[in-house]
Amino acid sequence: MNTKINLFGYELKNPVIPASGTFGFGYEFAEFYDINCLGSISLKGSTIASRYGNPLPRIAECPSGLINAVGLQNPGVDKVISDEIPHCKKHFSGKLIANVGGHSVEDYTSAVAKFNDCEDVFAIELNISCPNVKGGGMAFGVDPTTAHDLVVAVKKISTKPILVKLSPNVTDIVAMAKACENAGADGISLINTLLGMRINTKTGKPIISVTKGGYSGPGIFPVALRMVYEVANAVSIPVVGMGGVSSAYDVIEMMMAGASAVMIGSANLIEPFACKNIIENLPVVMKELNIQNLNDIIGRSFK
């Protein structure tokens, strides 16, 4: 069984990548298992300056997932490069995907430029879809023109492939994807979290400190699958699918919908061994479905 895939000219041993914000900087999960089994790791979102994130509480449970409003807490891109990535590389021999967020075009371009000389990073994921950061993040991810202009600016200074992470909280996901592709994006990743909230029925107040947050988990998988299918049908650049993926069957389904690789998000927060289990089950499911090579099923659902 061939589980290897190619992303931006870099060969991954399998398509399974922990999603940004759900796997820390990788080394935290090395306490549980050998993370070298992973295809790659999308690192925790980095901003040009350190961020504490949103006030507590930041998490609310849901029947089929959870809502988070962490707010891009991170030590800042300089510390990520000098401390976090070297720590990760002690446990992971593969190349990494950096994830960058910000409030302005300058925030994004400054942070992206920092990664140009970081040899351990082979691609940069632009988070233009975070619903938990006021004045930034999703502000770039809901308007095609704004997203286009941001990607153009980033591509002018980046020496690495740019993967743009899209929000599902838009009217037309295809228009967003095509705007990013036309601006020079090398790939599209989707979906980020849906916007949701929970209320404490004892107090009558929202559970999350900032009222709303990003809803993720198995409940959003059908929505994510539909959007990956629509985008993969509309663009000619690689698509990385995510959103509620929790099994090897889900990975196969995402790839059949057009994804070249698949990110695993909130499943890591519920079951620390989620990615390991999915990777180990992938050849089993491939044999069951008579799949010899994962590359053969990418976009199989297209008419």
Q: How would DSSP label each residue in 101-164?
A: --SSHHHHHHHHHHGGG-TTEEEEEEE---TTSTTSGGGGTS-HHHHHHHHHHHHHH-SS-EEE
Count of other CB atoms within 10 angstroms of residue 155? 16
Q: How far apart are CA 20 and CA 163, in angstroms?
A: 12
Active-site residue identified among 37, 62, 130, 275: 130
Give yes or no: 130 in active site: yes
Q: How far apart are CA 272 and CA 255, in angstroms?
A: 23
Q: Active-site residue numbers? A: 130
